[in-house]
Amino acid sequence: MANGRAATLTLPWRLPRFNIQGWPLIPIGILIVLALVAIFAELITPYNPEIGALGDRFRPPAWVAGGSDKHLLGTDHLGRDVLSRLIFGARVSMVVGFMAVIFAGFVGTFLGILSGYLGGWVDQVIMRVTDSWLALPGLTFAIFLAAIVGPSATNIVIVLALVFWTRYARVVRGEVLSLRERDYVRLAVVAGCSKWKIMQKHILPNVVNSAIVLATLQLGVVIVTEASLSFLGVGVPPPQPAWGLMLADGKKGLMAGYWWLTVFPGVCIMLLVLSANLIGDWLRVKFDPQLRQL
């Protein structure tokens, strides 16, 4: 005690404070868990997801009569462990989904900036191609392209990027049409900056937020499309574990009462897509001042 006042300890640094009020903690937590599961799949899977024992075919989950602690979520028609296939399926869905969103976002953002800032015949060509692409049903177009290039994870990433880049081009072009009339862009033109430098230094940083928000909103659509392609046999080829393939394998078992073959992969797809959409909606409000004031 000094001068009647309690002595206080002054630290040379402060602990960072994070204001998490209003954050979508549950969707973020689900995505983090699924990401960790996908990254460390080899360490946490109890069995090889591609190899099964025919003697363990159609074994129900552990808590159901006839189930076993060896297979917590049961087995499929080839005796493969459902839990192991779900874990590796998370890797396939997340890698394919994120890579397709990244590639589509890169191509669409680049073309949207070119179209919006350069204008003229460049804008006409890019937008007419974009309109033609958007006129095609997304899933049908993806099935057509996947049937041409053949089933593989790499080909599905390329197909999904080719299908969904147009959304970015359209949104980014609208942003750029407004940005190119701003004073700082006009001053850069007067200062003698080249068009490429203006697009890189002044336009791109101001459209990144919109591209990120659109990417999070598109992630769910991309994952559902990938699962649909795998379900139809033109996506990820068997025996590689994928949630869409698991649904396809379990559709006949569902008729025979083997509900776990479709329920568990369906719940995983629902959780991943719903989490991505909720985070996308939150980012859209967070980055839009008008929505944030509501």
Range of the domain at 267: 71-292
Is 25 inside a domain boundary?
no
The pLDDT score that the predictor gives to residue 270 is 93
The pLDDT score that the predictor gives to residue 260 is 87
The pLDDT score that the predictor gives to residue 113 is 92
Is 112 inside a domain boundary?
yes
Is 287 inside a domain boundary?
yes
Mean pLDDT by groups of 10 residues along the chain of 294 residues: 45 46 83 91 87 82 83 86 91 90 93 89 91 87 88 89 91 89 84 85 87 88 90 84 87 74 91 90 74 49
What count of other Cβ atoms lies within 10 Å of the Cβ of residue 78?
16
Residue that the structure tokens 């080249």 belong to: 194
Is 221 inside a domain boundary?
yes
Is 43 inside a domain boundary?
no
Number of domains in the chain: 1
Give the CATH number for residue 90: 1.10.3720.10
Is 90 inside a domain boundary?
yes
Is 276 inside a domain boundary?
yes
